[in-house]
Amino acid sequence: MFTVLKTEDRARRGTLETIHGTVQTPAFMNVATCGAIKGGIDSFDLKDLHCQVALCNTYHLSLRPGDEVVRDLGGLHRFMNWDRPILTDSGGFQVFSLAKLRKIKEEGVYFHSHLDGHAIFMGPEESIRIQSNLASTIAMAFDECVENPAPKSYAAQSCKRTVRWLYRCRDEMERLNALDTTINPNQMLFGINQGCTFSDLRIENMQEIAELGLDGYAIGGLAVGEPASEMYRIIGDVEPYMPADKPRYLMGVGTPVNIIEAVHLGVDLFDCVMPSRNARHGTLFTWEGIRNLNNERYIRDDGPIDPECQCPTCRLHSRAYIRHLLRSEELLAHRLTVQHNLFFYNTLMERIRAAIETGTFEEFRAKYVPILGRRI
């Protein structure tokens, strides 16, 4: 159940109650694609880094170790030793982004594994069955991720197919949740809004999927190369048609500035590989701006990455040491930098929530949008 506790214009402070605990929103979901954060971060580290929700990927886990293996081991929570909510992406994005040869039909998508080339079929029922085996808290509907830009005629056709697939996802989840053998019979289902950057398609699609009364709704197919202004325009156009009593999830976004602006437009949930991926290359987010520790000016800098930060890395290690680890290609560099960036993102959300609670979110936005996007 989702509850809106406080609003400031469109920005919302809420709670999402699940079988695996309550999520305080707005929230950032930390991406653990294969059941772990790249950078040597385990489930116990995530708690120390203030993570509320882990996001894992259906497609990757279905290939390795296999969703039936995870099921036989008690589900993803037991497999990872993580007792907080997990959201599983449907695998749709990976099917369309990683598979070089694919054939889309009404029943689903035929493609080849990016690992060894073996033939795979995935449709709505297959995606939901895999996610049920993983026993995640929240499952995402299987959708078609259309390349952007795309001809409007094809985008419209794809939206209709995605709606039909959504009904099949819902029906399959209801069937599986009723079985005695299902690990998590309380699994939730989120639908996904598509329509490229065509506002009329986006709105029509949102109106259609809202009729299903699902547990939450996502905006997909953005942050794939379009200007940020276009992304904000689409969010602003679609948001009035999203159910006010359900959580709103902006998939694959984004930078700290993107998150602040999307909260301003009414979004509740986010995910992105950016904090961990950028960290592994030495790009760190701080309350002063974006810092690249590969820069030579940090070679003798014994200060923390961010003087305001209380993450384990900033409490214990200097910029000079971490730069040395990065330049020496030590694995420890990944762990220390990823720790910092995840802690930054999670505490960013804490500050956003506090600002909405106190009615100062617009002041927070005005102060930090110019700061957090600049390179220092």
Are 67 and 133 within 8 A, CB to CB? yes
Torsion of CA 277, 281, 286, 292, to 10 degrees: -150
3-state SS class at 31: strand
Given 45, 143, 268, 271, which residue is catalytic?
A: 271
Q: What is the largest CA-CA distance in the chain?
A: 61
Q: What is the distance between the alpha carbons of residues 160 and 214, in angstroms, rounded to a whole number?
A: 18
DSSP output for 60-108:
HHHHTT-HHHHHHTT-HHHHHT--S-EEEE-SHHHHHHH-SSEEEETTE
48 an active-site residue? no
Give the pairing type, strands 2-8 and 21-25: unpaired
User: Angle of helix 152-177 relative to helix 199-210, nearest 10 degrees?
Assistant: 20
Are 261 and 369 within 8 A, CB to CB? yes
Question: What contacts 181, CB < 8 A, 6 or more positions away?
Answer: none
271 an active-site residue? yes
The arrangement of strands across the sheet holding 2-8 comes to: 2-8, 11-18, 21-25
Q: What is the distance between the alpha carbons of residues 238 and 232, in angstroms, rounded to a whole number?
A: 10
Helix (H), strand (E) at residue 134 = helix 124-134
Question: 101 burial class (0-12, 13-18, 19+ CB within 10 angstroms)?
Answer: exposed
Q: What is the distance between the alpha carbons of residues 72 and 65, in angstroms, rounded to a whole number?
A: 11
Given 89, 215, 237, 268, which residue is catalytic?
A: 89
Torsion of CA 177, 18, 134, 165, to 10 degrees: 60
> In angstroms, what CA-CA distances link 105 with 94, 121, 169, 196, 367?
17, 10, 16, 20, 49
Sign of CA dihedral 258, 259, 265, 267: positive
Residue with tokens 């019979």: 185
Active site residues: 89, 271
